[in-house]
Structure 1
C-alpha cells in the first residue's frame, strides 16, 4: 500500500476560495484504494462552517518551535467520503474572517503550517511515501523536510511533489523577515535555493527541493518555461524540465451533472438536451430580467473579474457585441472597474445583459445549464475549471488557446465536423469578437451542427479518474515502483 499525504491550504467542502480547493477535495477520492492510501491535511480555520468543526475529533496537541516562537499545534481529524482529513489547529494563526490575509502575515501562517505538517506525522502514526504539496502555501514542506527533519530517521526517504496551480502567486517577502519567521539558516537564502531577485520566495523553495514538480495542464507546463508565462521563474523551471509534468485537472462528475443537479430548473442528459436544456434558459431569463426568448443565443460568464481572465478584451468590444443577437449573463466579483463595467452594460442594454456582481454556487450551476455558449478569453489559464463544467452541461466554450483551455477545448472545424467549442489564438479583442460571431453564425444558421457539437462536448471525459491515473503513475515512479 502506497501512502500519500496531500498538504493544502484549502479543500472542499471545508474551505474554498478557488480551484485549488476543488482539486484537493475531489482528487483524493479517485485513487485506487487497493494500492493507495491518500489522506489530506489542511489548516483548521476559524472561518470554516460550524457544522464541519462540530464533526472533527480532537486527537492531541504539542508544541513546536518556529523561528523564535514556541507554537501550539493541535491535531483534529475527520473522515469524509472515505478520506481521512487532518486539520492543524492554532488560533493565533488561523483565526480571522477568511483563510488568506496579506503578506508578511500569510507567510508566517503558512511557514507554521508547512512545519506543522511534518511535525504531526510521527504523532498520528502516518508515514507517507509521498507528500504532495499544493501551491506556495506549502512550498516550505520540501525545504523543512530537507533541513532539520533529516535528524529523525522517520523522515528518511519521504518524497515530495510540488504542484503549481497558478504560478502568479509565489509567497514572496524580504529575506530578513522570512529568515526570522522560518528559522532557516543562511544556507537556504542563496540564489540556487529560496532567494529570488533579492527576496525570499516560498514557491521557489518548493520547486528547488521537491522530487517532482507538476502543474495543472500540459500546455501550461510548456508555457511556464518561457519568460511571458514564467513569472520570473522560467529559468528554474527550464532547469527542472525533466522533473516537470502537466496533468490536467478534472471536475467532480457527481457534483456537476445536468442529469441529477438539484440547482438547475430542468434536468437533462446527452439524449434529452435538445428539448430540455432550453427550459433552464427560459427560467433564467425570467429570473434575471433578460428578454424571454428561447431562441436568443445566451452567453454565460462565471469568473473572478480580473485582468488574468481577459476582461479588458471584453470591455473593448462589449458595445459592438451588444449589437448582435445575443444575451450575456455575468456572475462574479473582482476588480472594481470590471464590476462597474458590467453594471453599466446591464443598465445600458437591460434585457440583453444581466450582471450579477456577487458569487453564488447554485446560480453558477444554473448559468452553466442555461447558456448556449460560455466565454473565457483568458490571458493565461493554468487549467481552468469553468470550461470543463460548461462542456459537461453541453454549453460550448469560447476560449483563448492558452494553458488548460487549449488542452481541453477542441476548436470547431466545419470541414471535418469536429470540435467541442470555439477558440482564438492571439490576445486580441477583435479576434475574440470574430470567434464569438463565428459561434453565433453556427448557432443561428446551422443548428444541426451546433447540436452535434453539444453531443461531442457532453461526451468528453474530464472526470478526475483520468487525472488520478496519471498521478498514480507519477507516485509509482517517485517511490521507485516502476
Structure 2
C-alpha cells in the first residue's frame, strides 16, 4: 500500500475560491484504493460552513515553533466520500472572513500551514511515501522537509511533488520578512534556492526542493519553460525539465452530466441531444429575454471577466460579431471594465446579448446545456475546466490554442471529418472573429457535420479517472 498526502489551501466541498479546490476535492477518490491510501490536509478556516465544522472530530493539539513564535497546532479530522481529511486549526491564522487576505499576512499563514503539515504526521501516525503539494501556499513543505525535519528519521525518504495550477501566483515578499516568518537560515535565501530577483519566493522553493514538478496540462508544461509564460521562473523550469510533467485536470462526470443535471429543464445524452438539447435553449431565451428563435446560434461564455481570459479580444470585435445571426450569453464577474462592456452590449443589442454579471452554479449549467458553442479565447490557460464541461454538454468550444485548451479541444477538420471544436492560434481579435464565423458557417450550412462534431465531443473522456492513472504512474516512479 502506498501512502499519499495531498496538502492544499482549499478543497471542495469545504472551501473553494477556484479550480484548485475542484482538483483537491475530486481527484483523491479516483485512485485505486487497493494500492493507494490517499489523504488530504487543509487549514481549518473559520469561514467554512458550520455544517462541515460540526462533523469534524478533534484529534489532539500541540505547540510548534515558527520563526520566533510558538504556535498552537490543533488537528481535526473527518471522513468524506471515503477519503480521510485532516484540518489544521489555529484561530490566529485562520479566523478571517475569507481564506486569502493580503501579503505578507498570507505568507505567514501558509508558512505556518506548511510546517504544521509535516509536524502533525508523527502525531496522527500517518507516514506518507509522497506529499503532493498544490500551488505556492504549500511551497515551503519540500523546503522544511529538507531542513530541520531531517533530524527525525520518521521523515527520511519521504518524496514530494509540487503541482503548479497557475504560475502567476507565487507567494513573493522581501527576504528579511520571510526569513523572520519562516525561521529558515541564510542558506536558503540564495538565487538557486528561495531567492528570486532579490525577493523570497515560496513557489520557487517548492519547485527547487520537490522530487517532481507537475502542472495541469502537457502544453502548459512546455509553455512555462518560455519567457512569455514563465512568469520569471522559466529558467528554473527549464533546469528542472527532466522532472516536469503535465497531467491534464478532469471534471466530475457525475456533477456535470446533461442526462441527470437538476438545473436543466430538458435532460439529454449522446443519443437524444438532437431533439432535447434545443429545448434548453428555448427555455433560456425565454428566461433571459432573448429573441425566441431556436434556430439562432447561441454562444455561451462562463468565466471570470479578466484579461487572462481574452476579454480584450472580445471587446474589440463585439460590435462586428453582433451584426451576425448569433446570440451571446455571458455569465461571470471580474474587472469592472469588462462587466460594464457586457452591460453596454446587453443594452445596445437587447434580445441578442444577455449579460449576467454575477456567478451562479445553476445558471452556468444552464448555459452549458443551452448554448451551441462556447467561447474561451484565453491569453494563457494552465488547464481550463469550462471547455471540458462544454464538451461534456455537446456545446462546441471555440478556443485559443494555449495550455490545456490546446490539449483538450481538437480543431474541426472538414476534409477529414475530425475535431471536437474550433481553435485559433494567434492572440488576435480578428483571427478569433474569423474562427467564430467559420463555426457559424458550419452551424448554419452543414448541420449534419455540426451534429457529428457534437457526437465526438460528447464521446470524449475527461473524467478524473483518466488523470488519476497518470498520477499513480508518477507516484510509482517516485517511490520506485
TM over 0.5: yes
1:62 deviates by 1.0
Query: What residue is the counterpart of 1:381 in the other structure?
Result: 381
Partner residue of 1:319? 319
Q: Which residue of 2 aligns with 1:395?
A: 395
Matches within 5 A, 1:77-476: 77-476=77-476
Cα distance in 2, alignment partners of residues 227 and 25 from structure 1: 32
Matches of 2:405 and 2:230, distance apart in 1: 18
Instruction: Compute the RMSD of aligned alpha carbons.
Output: 0.6
Q: Distance in 2 between matches of 1:25 and 1:18?
A: 12
Quote the Cα distance in structure 2 between the aligned partners of 1:90 and 1:356.
Answer: 38
Deviation at 1:65, TM superposition (A): 0.9
* 1:75 matched to 2:75: yes
> Secondary structure of the equivalent of 1:293?
coil
Deviations 1:267-308 (A, max 9, x none): 100000000011111111111111111111111111111100
Aligned to 1:328, the other structure's residue is in SS state: strand
Q: Which whole-Å deviations, capped at 9, do the CAs of 1:355-391 have from their partners, x for residues lacking one? A: 1111111111111111100000000000000000000
Alpha-carbon distance in structure 2 between the residues aligned to 1:289 and 1:189: 58
Equivalent position SS for 2:300: strand
SS in 2 for 1:118: helix
Match of 2:25 in 1: 25
Aligned partner of 1:7 in structure 2 is 7
Give deviations 1:191-222, integer Å, cap 9, x for gaps: 00000000000000000000000000000000
SS of residue paired to 1:63:
strand
d(CA) in 2 for partners of 1:363, 1:121: 42
Superposed displacement of residue 426, structure 1: 0.2
State the Cα deviation string for residues 157-216 of structure 1 (Å, max 9, x = none).
Answer: 000000000000000000011111111000000000000000000000000000000000
Shift of 1:261: 1.0
Spell out, residue by residue over 1:400-437, the C-alpha distance to the aligned partner (whole angstroms, 9 max, x if none): 00000000000000000000000000000000000000
Distance in 1 separating the partners of 2:155 and 2:357: 48
Give 1:233 shift: 0.3
SS of the equivalent of 2:120 reads: helix
Q: How far apart are residue 321 of structure 1 and its match? A: 0.6
Separation (CA, whole Å) in 2 of partners of 1:285 and 1:79: 43
SS in 2 for 1:103: coil
Name the count of aligned residue pairs. 480
Q: Cα deviation per residue 1:86-131 (whole Å; 9 max; x = unaligned)?
A: 1111111111121111111111111011011001111111000000
- Separation (CA, whole Å) in 1 of partners of 2:94 and 2:358: 25
Match of 2:478 in 1: 478
How far does the alpha carbon of each residue in 1:322-367 deviate from its partner, in whole angstroms, 9 at most, with x for none? 1111111111111111111111111111111111111111111111
The gaps in structure 1 that reach 5 residues or longer are none
Unaligned stretches of 5+ residues in structure 2: none
Q: TM-score, normalised by structure 1?
A: 0.99
Residue of structure 1 in register with 2:64 after alignment: 64
Q: Secondary structure at the match of 1:427?
A: coil
Give the ranges of 4+ consecutive aligned residues of structure 1 lying more than 2 Å apart after TM superposition.
Answer: none
Q: Give the alignment's TM-score, normalised by structure 2.
A: 0.99
SS at match of 2:179: helix
1:49 to partner: Cα distance: 1.1
